Structure 1
Amino acid sequence: MNKRVDFPREVKVAAILGAGTIGASWTALFLAAGLEVDVYDPSENAEAFVRDYVEHAWPSLARLGLTVNGAMDRVRFFRTPEEAVVRAQFVQESVPERIEIKHDLYARIEPHLRADAIVASSASGLLVKEMQDGWKKPGRFILGHPFNPPHLIPLVELLGNDKTDGGVLELAEQFYAACGKVTIRVNKEVPGHVANRLQAALWREAIHLVVEGVASVEDVDKAVYAGPGLRWSVMGPHMLFNLGSGGHGLGVFCERFGPSFHRWWDDLGDPRLTPEVIEQLLSGVQAEENGRSFDSLAYERDSKIVEASRAIQYALQTDAHEQTSKARLVTAR
């Protein structure tokens, strides 16, 4: 997670609209950050689900140092979205990705929002300009797309456009940073935003390698997490290849390895998720599961994410301390 900062404008209340897995995860994070959280979901089981999710997420958030100001009991549940948003200075919307559902929700809540409230959608597949059609005044509506699970993965992709009020994206950046998130700006709207397109590109080639018999599902997964995935957890591809130049710069790297990349790119596959391909992937994943349950695998994922994040935090803190010590030494001389 990113280093936390103060909330903008003393934000104290956040609303969650849609309390499935994503909404429940957001709830846990916002509570950990010290906010009061008002939740709406039409499901009769929503409150039990969210409370259980928060309880199970809390130890991981605590290990990341994100619960210092938080409390699990500062959450309220409402039977209508109108009631859920009236106090909120920040609204995170995570209802199902059907445009008619979102438009109906926006029409219902717009008359009841605070004038200073920001509404951010978690949508991954819909475009902001499509969702804006559900608003009379879309100036304070933006994309705030997380990576699952939001309480553990720092990334939030932010997007507005020419209909977005000035300063709204900046306030959203401050808000998410105060929750420990890392934000990026999506400057041009494309389907899938940024991170989903990157993982879609990787998965496409991963499927191609399986379908072509180059490697099994399990071994392709191993090739990612035991290879470049470990590097990707600390730096992005451009900087990593820059470092791969041996200090000569990304330009030299491109000159040296450009022909190889061109050859690989020309040979990349373009598979489709046909019933036959799905069956092949399903069989491979079941073999990789090796009898382990969904819950045990999810726990393994979350535990590894937490420990990797803690290791990165420790490394950054150690580096900062060393840099400070060196600066003091130079000054003393």
Structure 2
Amino acid sequence: MDPPRHTKIRRLLGGLFTPRRMEESEDFLWRLADRQIDEFLTTGTVEVLHGFAQPFALLTIADLLGVPETDHDDFRRHLLAQQVGALSEGEALATNPLDYLDTKFTTYLTDRRTHPQDDVLGALAAATYPDGQLPEVVELVRLATFLFGAGQDTTARLITAGIRHLAETPDLQAALRADHTLIGDFVEELLRMDGPVKGDFRLTRTTTELAGRTVPAGTVVMVLPGAANRDPARFEDPHTFDLGRVNAREHVAFGRGVHTCPGGPLARIEGRIAIERFLDRTTTLTINADRHGPVGRRSYRYEPTYILRGLAELHVDFTPAD
């Protein structure tokens, strides 16, 4: 969207990503990370994307939007139905995640309109447009559903990429194990080097010049933030993962300007906590050679999409610290 419609809709997110709300979310995320790790810690091996990153990211968004913890297992069961055994084949075929989210959030928000409460769902139900107008519940439901799609998968891919970098690079892993204050820098360089948004599309509204080419009005343009994040004019030795890169935060993994990803601060917290708890609760972390090949001959499968850069799976082995 363009302003003013964009400004109007984005106003509804104002109460979700405040510093106070981020602090409240952080308390939940420490518990959530440990709970997810508990599910596989004794096995010494895990497929990171489906076994940790996706449920962790999904339940983070659920908590942010105020979904009661008593409903978290139900959300995970229906929205991560691709996990083996999560649903029967008949249930999986009959389950439409968007229909499920529509039903749940329509119920939640309608209830908060009728019975206001001082919680996240109550704040979302009471949110108004800049002119003070109260939006229809369906508008809020669409927004909640969008946040689930946009905020869940991207963060899960980021966390998975981070675990791969650590498992592939023993020196880097050792540095972060020795000094957790470096994890924030690690997440920033990860966003720059291996950010989950590969491409996006825009429509030019007016004819313009770009890099010496005329782009007529009405042209669909593909924007590649990953290419900008490896621009040698901005980043020295751009294809090297540099934990000490002083300008790593200049990346555009979250976009820029009025369209900057509103969930960027939350994604940073998720990445930091997920990495820290993985390191705290293991003493070694390596790539599973049976699934991905030996050192020097690794093989990884990525999702076949223009939009996301994301591993389709990542198998790692570890030694539990507990």
Common fold, TM-score beyond 0.5?
no
TM-score by length of 1: 0.24
TM-score by length of 2: 0.24
Larger Rg: 1
